[in-house]
Structure 1
Amino acid sequence: MFDVPAPTRSQAITDAVVGGAVGALGCLAVWALSETRWWYPSDWTLRGYLWAVVALGVVLALRRASPGVAALLAFGPYAYLIPDFEPTLVHHLPVALGAYAVVRTGALRWYVALGAAILATLLLFTYAMSFMPDPSELAQLLAVTCFAVALGQTMCRLEVTRAQLEQRNAELVALQGAEAERAVTAERNRISRDLHDIVAHHVTAIVVRAQAALHVSRSRPEKAPEALEWIVSEGKDSLAAMRSMVSVLRADQEATEDLGTSLERVAQRLRSGGLAIRLEVPQPSPEATPAVRQAALRIAQEALTNVALHSGAREASVEVTQPDGALRLTITDPGPRLPGERREGNGLRHMQERADGVRARLSCGPHGPGWRVLAEFPAKFPERRAP
């Protein structure tokens, strides 16, 4: 049997109202017709029609709330205990409707309901008539019974299918909501990484330059304005970078540059702060997808920022090579690492996330007295399709 959803309270009330109305109007119609000059039924025949319309109203009222009770009344007391009359399609309607209701709601298997309805039809026809039944009339009533059962089975399947589709649709909506939340979280993490990498890089350069300006102002006061002008310029660049990140609809500048140009711009910013950077990039610049170029640039930027913050080195090297068509990025500094400094926090985690995003291998760790960051990108990285 199928798992058909139970009727709602409003549906049960509607069925009860409809069943009561059909029973009342049917009795009124039978009485009105019996009072006309065109129909002169006997008392037994009139009572049979009244039984039929009352039974039809009861089955209609219970067809969804209690289909088993409706079928039992139609197949039992109604079929066997009604007075003697010549049965017609009107008298057979309660039996057919009971069979439809019990199959439509899945209360009985269709073949069980069909057998019970056929038996009730045969007994109704032969018991009520005092003469030999007409085979053609009997065949018509049996055909109506079979049609009612088939219709009930079809409607039951349709109802079950509709319920399953609604459930799957609800699951898809929930899955879509979870996927949208995941996408929002991923986008937030991406913006967080970009803000950290860009702003930390600019602020680090400003801090380094400010320290240099403080030292110069003590020994050579005439050089202080030059250092302050650089700090102002770098502060404006930092604000511009932040606005660039907040305005996510604007394309990143690095997406249209080759890797060598972007790395040179990052290196120049830190060189002006007093950190000597040796940049080795093949010419022409290595070919890479925008995602790989962006990841390589941010990893190099974060690694150089860490050198300026956490190392006593005054120089660093950035080397880009292409072994076997792959892209390898190496950032090293000779050290020494500052006492008490630990290279932990969002920077290393963000570098690892960027490497994971383009299926690259990243290793960070001590390299002699200094530090080395090594990122190896695959030779072929498929572009991600837009959702």
Structure 2
Amino acid sequence: MLDRIIRGGEVIDGTGAPGKTADVGIRDGRIVSVGQIDEPARETVSADGLLVTPGWVDVHTHYDGQVTWDGELTPSSVQGVTTAVMGNCGVGFAPASPDRHDWLISLMEGVEDIPGTALAEGIEWQWESFPEYLDAVESRSLAIDVGAQVPHGALRAYVMGERGADHRVRPDPEEISRMGRLAREGIEAGALGFTSSRTRNHRTKDGEPTPSLTAGPEEMLGIAEEIGRGGLGVFEIVADFADLEDEFKLLRKMVEISGRPMSISVAQNDRVPDQWRRLLDQIGEAAEVGLPMKAQVAPRAIGLLLGLEASLHPFIGHPTYQSIKDLSREEKWARLKDPNFRAALLTEQTPEMLRFLVGDFERLFLLGDPPNYEPSPDQSLAAEARRRGLSEQEWA
């Protein structure tokens, strides 16, 4: 007798084969049959009109804090994800010196827009080293499986102290060696790998660039070489590729000297719209000669949620708005309705470092209810402003 039958759903088995209507039989926690099943079962679940798929493995998440207090790991667990990989983009919470807790929260809040208040209230900091962090995660009862990675930003802060927060500061040889050893020790303790960010889109809550932004070849290769000695783990890298040839040459060298696989986040950049094709070509050329390099591509375009209560919005960098940023929501609304305040706000321009994210109104859209995740260009804030005869900032 089966423990459970999932009856009559459209089975997508993950092999690339077309979906088919079938039953799925489960015994002792394992799938033992797929097809038309006549064997009796203790429980029958109707999947008529539904998809039956393997559990999703989400290779790019940021549950590093939430995993320590939320056993359900929502929303992933209710969306079919059964394994989540965290620690991406060089941000996370281990290793962590006690005096760097607030800074690590600020970095995660800025990079991933996870509320710092939630992180500060939820994380109990039962660890300092990365192996201790893994022990803390393992002690939790979790609804899904998780995999952790050693984040470059936390590693720099742990080894270099306050100096590590400044991407322009170069670690000395001993600090590079120590970062490499700690990364290897974390991987040997169970981490999946090491991650680093080299993009200007990643900033702390206060707008400072991510600490690994311009980490030099000595640092990147030194860490890679030490990880290679352990013979375990992977690299996950996100970068702007402002100089594609030189940047990719460095990443390729990391794989060459370590022998470890690397995945690189690939997205289209509006400023160099064809660069992603050249990057994929270089990744492909490396793979052809036996280097384990792959592209990590999101299934849809990356977006940001902007709003008065969010971390970013079109006026966040304006000096006039900064004068009210700490007020309550109601107080902010009152000031924004003041004609004199609005006039002063509209004379100011978005700072250069934020212009790409929040200053291009051709790329900003009302979210809507229900949300529209694929709006057309004529639905942009810029298009609507033109229709109304207003400036883009006035309409925003």
Greater fraction strand: 2
Greater fraction helix: 1
Query: Structures share a fold, TM > 0.5?
Result: no
Question: In which range does the TM-score fall when normalised by the shorter chain?
Answer: under 0.3
Larger Rg: 1
Task: Report the TM-score when normalising by structure 2.
Answer: 0.22
Task: Report the TM-score when normalising by structure 1.
Answer: 0.23
